[in-house]
Amino acid sequence: MTEYNIDDVSDQQLKVGYWYLEHKALIRKIVVIALAAFSAVTLGYGIFGFIRHYAVLGELDQAVAGIALNQPDFAAWQARNKAANISFLPPTVIYNGHNSYDIYTKVVNPNDKWLVSELTYTFESGDFSSPTTTIYLLPGEDRYLFSLANQSPRRLTEVSLKVIELKWRRLKEDLEYPAPDFSLSKVNFASSENEARSWISFTATNNGFNNFWEVDWQALLYSGRQVVGINQITTAEFAAGQQRPVTMSWFDRLPRISTVEVYPLVDVLNPDITYKISGQAGELY
């Protein structure tokens, strides 16, 4: 039989031990209940946090989606503001005789905020190529492109226009340039008796306030609805307010001419195209 020595145990310790043995089952229940309550609180907080996280995340997703919806549509903006293509009439060939050909077409810049700063082109047909030419086109401008006196031993009936270089410049504000203002009067067509030479004559008036060093003139001759002759010449030093007779000649036989069209052409983007005259009224302003 095992013997226990209780001499070293105090009365207080005995009372505590007796109380513990008497209430052991109750203490166990209290501990179990406390642990269960703690677990429930912890689990509840976790569930609440989980739900709140996804609720906030959903709101965040909606906010991000809203930001995306409110962002500017740059693709649409670019599509609305990009330059529309320039357009060309089909090129036309005019045979002058002696393997000589004139070629022309018309080009249109439909944009009001885009300048064609450089258009380099040539006319082609098989192994034939006309000299390369470079022009510019103002916003909204349309003009004729002439290529005169092209030589080809092979008969040219159709040609195509080849664009070698095309450069655009978007204008943030209206372009400032000396706008030409010309009017024509007394436009007349005539031929020599043997029809070896034909010519048009007209009076050109500079109604604007600018003196131009050079003014080109483009002419188209019609027989019915068909263009049968084209030409281009340059007049020098055309002063503001000046009237001047101008003559353009053709040295090949032409059919009966029913209509004459003449257009002035000024290199307005050339900063040196205008000049001043001492004592002219424009110098006072």
Chain segment 235-267, per-residue pLDDT in tens: 999 999 999 999 999 999 999 999 999 999 999
- What's the whole-model pTM score? 0.71
**Beta-carbon contacts of residue 270 (< 8 Å; ≥ 6 apart):** none
Give 67's pLDDT tier (boundaries 50, 70, 90). low
* Whole-number pLDDT of residue 285: 42
**Beta-carbon contacts of residue 51 (< 8 Å; ≥ 6 apart):** none
Structure tokens at 274: 């205008």
Q: Which amino acid is at 241?
A: G
Give CA separation, 174 vs 136, 139, 141, 187, 194, in Å. 16, 9, 14, 34, 52
Which sign does the torsion angle of CA 123, 125, 126, 127 carry?
negative
Structure tokens at 122: 């040539």
Query: Max Cα separation, the chain?
Result: 163
Look at phi and psi of residue 142 and say left if phi exceeds 0, alpha if psi is from -120 to 50, else beta.
beta
Average pLDDT (98-123) is 97
Average pLDDT (40-61) is 62
Return the higher-pLDDT residue of 7 and 210. Answer: 210
